[in-house]
Structure 1
Amino acid sequence: MISARCNCGAIALSLPGPTNRVAACHCIACQRRTGAPFGVGAFYPADVVSILGTPKEYVRAAESGGKVRFYFCPDCGSTVYWKADNLPAMIGVAVGAIADPDFPAPIKSVFEQSKHAWVEVSGAGVEHLQHGSARKTSD
């Protein structure tokens, strides 16, 4: 088991271990949510994740037309996880909240149309997409 938590520790998740379902997202909403040029999420089946604490929820419209629900600490403000209406069986966990430098690298880099020019997500087999899952870019 591994854990993810907010900066102050009030919100914590218990996860079964590392996952290979890791994506870097360069959409403008993730840039604003993280305060960084991209967000990185690890995705787990919701039924294998235990959540401790009472997060605050922020809901926004997704490009897919559904909603994405972000859960963050009401004390320190750290976003720890999220759920998308179009993937109800999955939970996205902020890789930064896991805080493990050996955690697996992203296998997907999405919304690259708004990627900062100096950012490069590389590695064997990384899928590069202009949108969330719509079209693959040429390498």
Structure 2
Amino acid sequence: MICRGEPALVSLCHCRECQRRTGSTYGIAAFFPRPEVKISGAATAYCRQADSGFDVTLHFCPRCGSTVFWEAARKPEMIAVAVGAFADPEFPAPGKQVYSQHRHLWVAVPVA
């Protein structure tokens, strides 16, 4: 996968689905305009309904099982990429948190 330019948004999500998907306390996504993302290689897809009622299709690496990117029917113009997939400690910090009501009480996350 190749993402060109800077992400339109980096968001930290505390929802229960991101907790289950990552096996951690939250997930972090970088949202890029669809034309700025080139997808290549094999992926396994899983589709589920989000709290909004719209479908979300998650794409996993078939070799290691990591979530690489996802597409939300609510935002068809964007592709969300797992920030961990970049393996870049200088990647921009999240500028937004969502589903904070599900945040584990011991998690303190600074947001840019």
Could you state the TM-score of these two structures normalised by the residue count of structure 1? 0.77
Residue correspondences, number: 112
- Greater relative contact order, per chain length (Cα 8 Å cut-off, separation 6+): 2
Residue identity over aligned pairs, in percent, reads 51
Where structure 1 has 5 or more consecutive residues not aligned to the other structure, the ranges are 1-12, 125-139
SS where residue 31 of structure 1 aligns? helix
1:49 corresponds to = 37
Cα distance in 2 between the residues matched to 1:86 and 1:20: 16
| Structural mapping, 1:7-22, within 5 Å | 13-19=1-7, 21-22=9-10
- Whether the 8 Å contact between 1:18 and 1:103 is mirrored in structure 2 is no
2:77 corresponds to = 89
**What amino acid does structure 1 have at the position aligned with 2:58?**
F
Where structure 2 has 5 or more consecutive residues not aligned to the other structure, the ranges are none
* 1:68 aligned residue (40, 56, 78): 56
Q: Which has the larger radius of gyration?
A: 1
- Whether the 8 Å contact between 1:20 and 1:107 is mirrored in structure 2 is no
Q: CA RMSD in A?
A: 1.1
Could you state the TM-score of these two structures normalised by the residue count of structure 2? 0.95
SS where residue 74 of structure 1 aligns? coil
- Whether the 8 Å contact between 1:21 and 1:42 is mirrored in structure 2 is yes
Q: Which stretches of structure 1, 4 residues or more, deviate above 4 A after TM superposition?
A: none
**What amino acid does structure 2 have at the position aligned with 1:29?**
E
